[in-house]
Structures are given as structure tokens and as C-alpha cells.
């Protein structure tokens, strides 16, 4: 019985050590898919903490709650310029390599801050209809680190 109690206490203390809470940071890259280099490509980083609960609305009240949406817009954020996927002659592979170098630098900087890349989510938006000349390639990088 004594060994059982010691084992249970050890399990709970180890569980308490590993049950850390994390803080998360999301960084978004938006790369333009517009021929001729006319688009805008950026890495966007939010520098403000926000509480989601004031803007959370029930399904019934969602349409009426425009004031809180306007108040929730971030004023303090960083933009890092990226190059567009397309130039006047088509896909520009040098631009893609340059963007990769910038994004790698960003990933390395966050790793040095103790952040771990937890998730990556990406997608493409384009209507792809006749004479489609626009779209974006968006990637969200979700970083986590243990709260201090």
C-alpha cells in the first residue's frame, strides 16, 4: 500500500511538471498571385494582446454587433515586405527563393526566442475563372512557448 501511494504521488507531481500552459503567437504571410508584380505580399505580425470574448457573439446577435468588430481592429502590427510570385514575364523563382530566405530568418528568430512552430496552415484564394488575374497564397504560422 505504501508503494502504491508513493507511486500515485510521483505520477501527480510529474504530471504537474509537464502540465505547462503555453502562450501562442500567430504570424501570417500573404503572397500575391497577381501577374505583372502588381500585388502586395507581406508578413503580418500582431503586436497587441486581444481578448476574444468581447467580440464573440451568439448566432442571433452576430449581425448587429458591428461596433465591437471595429473596436477590435489591431492598430499595432508589423509588416515585412515580401516579393510577389509573379513578375511581368510569369513566375519569378528568384522572388520565391527570396521570400523563403526571409521566412526562414523569421522562423529562426522565433526559435531563438524559445518559440516552437506548432502548426502551419496555408491556402490559396483565386476565382480561377476566365482571365483570372488575382489571388493570394496565405500561410499562418502558429508558434507556442511555455508561459513564464
SS3 9: helix
- 124-136 confidence digits (pLDDT tens): 887 666 666 677 8
Average pLDDT score over residue span 86-93: 82
DSSP H helical segments within 19-148, as ranges?
A: 66-71, 93-112
CA distance 15 to 92: 51
pLDDT at 140: 94
Average pLDDT score over residue span 53-80: 68
CA distance 141 to 17: 27
DSSP 118-133: EEEEEEEE----TT--
More confident residue, 16 or 43: 43
Does the predicted TM-score (pTM) go above 0.75?
A: no
- Residue 117 pLDDT > 80: yes
Average pLDDT, the chain: 79
CA angle (75, 77, 80) in 5-degree steps: 145
Average pLDDT score over residue span 7-31: 71
Instruction: Please answer whether residues 35 and 21 qualify as being in contact, where contact means their C-beta atoms are separated by less than 8 angstroms.
Output: no
pLDDT at 137: 85
Average pLDDT score over residue span 67-85: 80
Q: Which residues share a beta bridge with 27?
A: 45, 141
SS3 21: coil
Amino acid at each position: 500500500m505504501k508503494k502504491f501511494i508513493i507511486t500515485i504521488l510521483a505520477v501527480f507531481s510529474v504530471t504537474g511538471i509537464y502540465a505547462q500552459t503555453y502562450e501562442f503567437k500567430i504570424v501570417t504571410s500573404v503572397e500575391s498571385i497577381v501577374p505583372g508584380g502588381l500585388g502586395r505580399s507581406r508578413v503580418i505580425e500582431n503586436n497587441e494582446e486581444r481578448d476574444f470574448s468581447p467580440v464573440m457573439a451568439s448566432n442571433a446577435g452576430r449581425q448587429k454587433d458591428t461596433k465591437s468588430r471595429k473596436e477590435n481592429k489591431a492598430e499595432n502590427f508589423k509588416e515585412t515586405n515580401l516579393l510577389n510570385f509573379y513578375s511581368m514575364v510569369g513566375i519569378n523563382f528568384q522572388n520565391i527563393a527570396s521570400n523563403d530566405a526571409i521566412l526562414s530568418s523569421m522562423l529562426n528568430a522565433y526559435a531563438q526566442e524559445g518559440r516552437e512552430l506548432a502548426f502551419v496552415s496555408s491556402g490559396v484564394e483565386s476565382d480561377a475563372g476566365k482571365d483570372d488575374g488575382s489571388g493570394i497564397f496565405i500561410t499562418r504560422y502558429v508558434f507556442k512557448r511555455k508561459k513564464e
